[in-house]
Structure 1
Amino acid sequence: MKQHNLGTVVGFEFLRVVTKRRFWVAALAIPVVLAAVFSLVFISSSSTDNASQAQKRAQFTFTYSDGSGLVTAAVAAQFGGMKATDGDKAVADVKSGTVDAYFAYPADPATQPVQVYGVDRGIFENGKYDAVARQILVTGAQQKIGSPELTTMAQGDVKVTALTYKDGQVSGGLDTVIPPLLFLVVFYLSIVMLGNQMLNSTLEEKENRVTEMILTTMNPTTLIVGKVISLFLVGLVQMLTFAVPVVVGYVFFRSNLNLPDVDLSHLVLEPQPMVVGFLLLVGGFVLFTGTLVAIGAMVPTVKEAGTYFAPLMIMIFVPFYVVSVIVSDPHAVIVQVFTYFPYTASVTAMLRNGFGTLTLAESGIVILELFGLGFVALRLAVYLFRYGSIEYSKKLSLSSVLGRRRRV
């Protein structure tokens, strides 16, 4: 008598994957690489800071000539420079090594370059000449303006607070776009990280020649659903494994790694886009999982399955080739096609949902389409697995399976 213990299937499939060494090697590969990159960035940042401090402490001698009137003796003295009486002699002094550098400021620095002559100290050390010459000119210009407020505005350091309105209410702008788009990130991670697992979930039993034995004791629907749930749980484990080093690096080593300070308190969680984004994520996951499981049940080997896997992966990245059109002209024909074509619908709809161009009616249609076709794909996977369990040497014919089902 066939059993219907879904929990047994989920537990077995989940433990079978997570107890394998190769799973953890693959799952930990990205975190280990990230940790190595973070360590290198940390070491490099420390070395750069030390070199910068040493460069600041290291004084070098220079002379200057000024045709702009912006560089005064007081400004040059702040950086340890002296005015040159003869430009040609100043260049000759640099060539002979008597002084380290000579800066020749033109009459109009806005249109003419500052000529810098220096003793070669190496590619990285030579940059200090340009930096000091530029800072002297900036300092002189600031003093010429004579007003800290005007200086700040002249540098473009002006704070702007913007308010935009939608339907008479203040909209959150970019702060409302980011949260729904996080579902798109999760979707990509889940498909990329679990794609092979989805494809091989039914192939493994066929290649091991144990499918007949399984089907004598287990309902195929229970088996397929259990595999899908276990895939979801495995995906959660992989995502947590991937996220931990990122979170640790940001929380404890953000300043050392030069990571931007992200203020999440400004993000706006609007109910409709968040609910729609979640449903699109789940619907897309169900559709792709059902399709990949069905392919695995139909073909006899992993090699043959790969010919179907690649086009499906391409489908989820195709919308990004027209992302500018999706954002700027959501009613374009190509955008509408991508919105309703099943294997590009989830990504395109999530993009439009994040940017606020997906209407509630369109959301409903796409969500129903994804869940409906996902259910069909899962049912098809069950039929293919049941009737293709003994096809070990050739690909199962979809038309013959469906014809056999109708005759039964």
Structure 2
Amino acid sequence: MAQHNLRTVVSFEFIRTVTKKRFWAATLAVPLMLAVVFGLLYLSRSATDTAADAQKSAEFTISYTDASGLITPEQAKVFRATRAPSPEEGIRPVQAGTIDAFFDFPADPATEKVKVYGADRGLFENNKYSAVAQAMLTQAVSARIGSPGLSALARSDATIDTKTYRGGVETAGFMSAVPPLSYVVIFYGLVILLSGQMLNSTLEEKENRVTEMILTTLKPTTLISGKVLALFAVGLVQIVVFASPLLIAYLFFRDQINIPDVDLSALVFEPLPMIAGFLILVGGFALFTTTLVAIGAVMPTAKEAGNFMAVVIIMIFVPFYAVTLIFSNPQALIVQVFTYFPFTAPVTALLRNGLGSLTVGEGAVVIAIVYIGAVLMFYLAVRLFQYGSISYTSKVNIRTALSSGRRVKAAGGQAG
């Protein structure tokens, strides 16, 4: 008898769940989304290979000085490099932007640093300067490998010190990328930790059957605005709480618990990437908050809303399917799609902003997209909550809710 009852319960629950349209909508959303991602990756592959081949054969203007005497004019000609009169006169055109790179080879490259100066082309593309400088030196060593003094140099790469310039000012390289990239960590932390509260912020009243009472004293716009602002405040509190132990341990107990001595003074906070990253972070968080609030307003129970919340949360991880392209080829098709699609834009744009591949124009477009998206989702959440405030047992029909709102406004205008 007990087994029969168990079989009945399992059968009933299974059939009831799989026969619902919203179950399949939420279930199929993930594989369909991944199919689109893999399709974009496939389409981007040929373009990426072409770009990689172009990068290998790309030429940039080079000048050099050579105190070691290793590099002959014939070898320099292979790299289309011209000799500069002095290091100072080699660096100046790079700072002015009239030449791409200057290499200063020391008297003894085996023990002294090769100094490389280049025009800033982004965190990863800048690596081409040191690669070409090493190639020039390696070729020179290979041509004169018979010299005993070159044996140490032939066995290992030379030490290369690279400096890049943008607008005549030296850039900080990786140390300038760390601060804006921290916005990515903050964004993930806020969305993951608060997603449940975002979803339940409108579901709690519906499940407790108190929405009618609330709406007799509050306008839906005021209620939803208050919930969204409260979630922002909760997020700030959590950031402070989570960061406090790390900060206290680093400042007061670093020696006792063997925390590495990190030189925070080496970090460079460039105003434009920091401001752009902050605006993208706030806009992205607002977009996901209002989206989850809207889902909570549509669904009758937290159980049914959970499936759709999972789809939304997966969106913030989708960009990592193309993370190598985000790093190496930001102009690839899939990276461009992720940059401008509202629900993948925050993570993709924050990564590109930190890596220096997000232009001012692209950043402005992304900021506009996430803020406009947040406003539209806020409006949708208000309408859905207002219409579905007493829909305790069934999902709110979005089209009906929006058309109902338009009819109410039209009636109000005629009455006026």
Which residue type is aligned with residue 311 of structure 1?
V
Which residue type is aligned with residue 372 of structure 2?
G
Shift of 1:160: 6.6
Q: Which residue matches 2:259?
A: 259
Q: Which residue matches 2:268?
A: 268
Deviation digits for residues 24-76 of structure 1 (CA, Å, limit 9, x no counterpart): xxxxxxxxxxxxxxxxxxxxxxxxxxxxxxxxxxxxxxxxxxxxxxxxxxxxx
Please give the secondary structure, in 2, of the residue aligned with 1:217. coil
Shift of 1:257: 3.2
Please give the secondary structure, in 2, of the residue aligned with 1:163. strand
Distance in 1 of aligned mates of 2:196 and 2:355: 31
Please give the secondary structure, in 2, of the residue aligned with 1:396. coil
Q: Which residue matches 1:367?
A: 367
What aligned pairs does 1:4-403 form with structure 2 within 5 A after superposition?
161-403=161-403
Change (3 A) 1:159 1:249: farther
Q: Which residue matches 1:148?
A: none
Which residue type is aligned with residue 168 of structure 2?
G
Distance in 1 of aligned mates of 2:213 and 2:289: 24
Which residue type is aligned with residue 237 of structure 1?
V
Change (3 A) 1:162 1:253: farther
Shift of 1:161: 4.8
Distance in 2 of aligned mates of 1:262 and 1:403: 58
Distance in 2 of aligned mates of 1:368 and 1:245: 36
Distance in 2 of aligned mates of 1:257 and 1:334: 44
Distance in 1 of aligned mates of 2:258 and 2:391: 56
Deviation digits for residues 240-271 of structure 1 (CA, Å, limit 9, x no counterpart): 22112222222233334333221111111111
Q: Stretches of 4+ moved more than 4 A in 1?
A: 158-161
Distance in 2 of aligned mates of 1:271 and 1:239: 22
Distance in 1 of aligned mates of 2:263 and 2:214: 52
Shift of 1:370: 0.5
Which residue type is aligned with residue 243 of structure 1?
A
Q: Which residue matches 1:405?
A: 405
Which residue type is aligned with residue 310 of structure 1?
A
Deviation digits for residues 359-378 of structure 1 (CA, Å, limit 9, x no counterpart): 11111111111000100101
In the alignment, structure 1 segments of 5+ residues that lack a partner are 1-152
Q: Which residue matches 2:18?
A: none
Please give the secondary structure, in 2, of the residue aligned with 1:278. helix
Distance in 2 of aligned mates of 1:311 and 1:257: 40
Distance in 1 of aligned mates of 2:236 and 2:340: 28
Please give the secondary structure, in 1, of the residue aligned with 2:209. coil
Which residue type is aligned with residue 309 of structure 1?
M
Which residue type is aligned with residue 323 of structure 1?
V
Q: Which moved more, 1:209-218 or 1:243-252?
A: 243-252
Q: Kindly tell me the number of residue pairs found equivalent between the two proteins.
A: 258
Work out which structure has the larger RCO, using CA pairs closer than 8 Å and 6 or more positions apart in sequence. 1
Distance in 1 of aligned mates of 2:224 and 2:261: 44
Deviation digits for residues 256-313 of structure 1 (CA, Å, limit 9, x no counterpart): 4333221111111111111110110011011001100000011010001101111111
Q: Which moved more, 1:243-252 or 1:312-321?
A: 243-252
Change (3 A) 1:159 1:329: closer
Deviation digits for residues 113-164 of structure 1 (CA, Å, limit 9, x no counterpart): xxxxxxxxxxxxxxxxxxxxxxxxxxxxxxxxxxxxxxxx9xx9x9875422
Which residue type is aligned with residue 376 of structure 2?
V
Please give the secondary structure, in 2, of the residue aligned with 1:371. helix
Which residue type is aligned with residue 327 of structure 2?
V
Distance in 2 of aligned mates of 1:243 and 1:358: 28
Which residue type is aligned with residue 258 of structure 2?
N
Which residue type is aligned with residue 215 of structure 2?
L
Q: Which residue matches 2:56?
A: none
Deviation digits for residues 65-92 of structure 1 (CA, Å, limit 9, x no counterpart): xxxxxxxxxxxxxxxxxxxxxxxxxxxx
Distance in 1 of aligned mates of 2:160 and 2:256: 29
Distance in 1 of aligned mates of 2:230 and 2:335: 34
Shift of 1:404: 1.4
Shift of 1:356: 0.7
Distance in 2 of aligned mates of 1:375 and 1:230: 17
Distance in 1 of aligned mates of 2:188 and 2:260: 23
Distance in 1 of aligned mates of 2:236 and 2:364: 27
Shift of 1:165: 2.1
TM-score by length of 2: 0.59
Distance in 2 of aligned mates of 1:278 and 1:239: 14
Shift of 1:236: 1.6
Please give the secondary structure, in 2, of the residue aligned with 1:258. coil
Distance in 2 of aligned mates of 1:242 and 1:368: 30
